[in-house]
Homo-oligomer: A and B are copies of this chain.
Amino acid sequence: MELKETLIDSKKVFQGSIITVKQERVVLVNGKEAGRDVVVHPGAVAVVAVTPENKIVLVRQYRHPVGEALLEIPAGKLDKGEDPDHCARRELEEETGYLAGRLKQLTAIYTTPGFCNEKITIYLATELAKTAQHLDDDEFLNREYCTFQEAQQMIADGRIHDAKSIVGLLMAASSCR
């Protein structure tokens, strides 16, 4: 079966500071019409950063939508027209105060393709050099460190449950083996 839906109508219903919401209509495989609510997102990057001492740099920050402070790999949204590689180096430096000597793309994921187009490009950063953390005005986070083994333990027992972080940490672990 050929899998394809054809857009026939699109109406912007919400414009936020980061996301836009569109109410769209599509024609399905069987010729019938259906509604699709779509959250449009600018895209993002996330970075598994490994220090010369083989420690992974993590950030803990409060995530208002889920009402919890989550342990995550450093990440951030793409500025308009920004190259993901540039964004990865920028966000890593801003959030953790590390410059990436080497940057390698691990994968790119769709976080929740049923209703949103957000794509996160995930990198492995090594040969880190220390500089200064410089957070946005409304950004508050604590930096933490762990080994690959500790990261895998925290994924297994549910202490890390952010999707991009689990993907990045597990793929980096097999890439670094």
Contacts and interface: CB of A to CB of B under 8 A. Distances in A.
For chain A, the bracket of interface size reads 35 or more
A115 B18 contact: yes
Contact of A37 (B19, B114, B142, B164): B19
A16 B13 CA distance: 10
A146 interface: no
Contacts of A63: 110, 113-114
Specify which of A116, A155, A158 lies most central, judged by the most chain B CB atoms within 10 Å of its CB.
A116
B158 A108 contact: yes
A147 interface: no
Contacts of A108: 158, 161
A18 to B, nearest CB: 6
B117 A65 contact: yes
Interface string A48-72: 0000000000001111111011100
A133 interface: no
B5 A16 contact: no
Interface in A67-121: 68-70, 107-120
Contacts of A156: 107, 171, 174
Interface of A: 1, 3-5, 7, 13-14, 16-19, 21, 23-24, 26, 28-30, 32, 34-39, 41, 60-66, 68-70, 107-120, 137-138, 140-142, 152, 155-156, 158, 161-164, 166-167, 170-171, 174
9 contacts: A1-B140, A5-B64, A28-B138, A36-B65, A39-B116, A65-B114, A116-B116, A166-B167, A170-B170
